[in-house]
Amino acid sequence: MFADDPIAAGRFVLADPATGEPQFVYQPETHSLLVRHHTGRPTIRLVHPLARPLTDRDSFTLRVTFRVIDPQFSSEEDYFAQLSFGLMNAAGTGPNRTDHMPDAQDPSLHGAFDLFAVDYTLSNSFWGYYPGLAPTVTASLPDPYFPGGYYDAMSLYPGAESLLTEEALLPYTTLTAVVEYDGATRLAILRIYEGSTALPINLEGEGGPGGTDGDVTTIVTAVKTSSALRESYPFRVDRIGLFSWKDDWAAMDGTAKGLDAVYERIELTWTAYPDLTDDGRVDADDVEAFQTCQSGPAVPQEDPVCQNADLDADGDVDQDDFGLLQRQLGTERPS
């Protein structure tokens, strides 16, 4: 993916204003991207648009190959650092991951809703001592706002990440994070590979070794499907990217640190769920919606309303897409 500079070529763009020393640096000799994640600097995200938006009803797989650079601060008494990558929404994902509510008057304070990310955290501060790793999923912002604030929209609460009591991810080691999300079960399953070997990242999961599924090589996040607040916690993402989040608490108490990583590849594959009317099932209404959007082979479908009908993400809406819809006709998703 990084055969050339993705920023100079225009494939990836900054979603936030750049300040100070560049945090995304292309390394042509290794065809990789150095990212200086720093929890004390303003949030900055480097993103690429998806061919079509994905929702909690779609199934997809995210693969990211990276190396953590040895954190020199690990011998210090107080530090908090984090690297993050995944999927976000150009309109719904604000830069603030620690505030409860977005501020309509100040976009820089908007909460990071509509977010599907892998977070790796190193901490030796009032947060506690741990390396933490998990898929973190934050739902779309409802109207009115979640009564419980930003953190109620998260399917994984801060501090609930799997604690890597076995060891932190080894620095200078090429690793591949693979997250498989199933739109039917609403489970996000993370594995970390060194070569072809899945590493034991969950030796002391909730409920015992391996956590909920008993597999020590997986960390599982279950996306909320019901609560007293609302029937479901949907998300909608339309960008893939690398994120450096500012953490207000760490910035205030002086524990914020930088954590560098080198990224070699980031890719996404998916199987779209053809619920075009977004009512939780595929039925005659979806067939009618599809027919309205049908453009024909190699005829671009550019109507924003019809982007979810391009099920194979090839730019048109044709019989190939209808075949994908037919296979799911009569099915339902859990709400």
Cα 217 to Cα 58, 129, 137, 262, 299, distances in angstroms:
24, 22, 20, 23, 44
Summarize pLDDT for 122-174 with one digit per residue, the tens.
Answer: 888 766 667 788 899 998 876 666 666 677 788 875 555 566 765 678 889 99
Is residue 78 included in any domain, yes or no? yes
Do 126 and 69 reside in the same domain of the chain? yes
Total structural domains in the chain? 2
- b/e map 127-153, b = 16+ CB within 10 Å: beebbbbbbbbbbbbeeebbeeebbbb
Do 123 and 246 reside in the same domain of the chain? yes
Is residue 60 included in any domain, yes or no? yes
Do 170 and 314 reside in the same domain of the chain? no
Is residue 334 included in any domain, yes or no? no
CB half-sphere exposure, 238, CA atoms < 13 A: 13
Do 235 and 303 reside in the same domain of the chain? no
Confidence of residue 308 (pLDDT cuts 50, 70, 90): confident
Confidence of residue 229 (pLDDT cuts 50, 70, 90): very low
Do 267 and 292 reside in the same domain of the chain? no
Is residue 142 included in any domain, yes or no? yes
Encoded tokens for 66: 């990276």
* Segments forming the whole domain that contains residue 17: 13-271
Do 208 and 118 reside in the same domain of the chain? yes
Do 219 and 125 reside in the same domain of the chain? yes
Cα 31 to Cα 25, 34, 125, 265, 268, distances in angstroms:
11, 10, 35, 9, 19
DSSP β-bridge partners for residue 123: 80, 130
Do 220 and 323 reside in the same domain of the chain? no
Is residue 6 included in any domain, yes or no? no
Residue with token string 């599982």: 220
Is residue 3 included in any domain, yes or no? no
State the CB neighbour count (10 A cutoff) for residue 271. 14
Do 18 and 51 reside in the same domain of the chain? yes
Separation CA 29–CA 4 (nearest Å): 10
Confidence of residue 16 (pLDDT cuts 50, 70, 90): very high
The CATH number of residue 211's host domain is: 2.60.120
Do 307 and 204 reside in the same domain of the chain? no
DSSP 8-state code for residue 316: B
Do 196 and 290 reside in the same domain of the chain? no
pTM equals: 0.85
Do 227 and 320 reside in the same domain of the chain? no
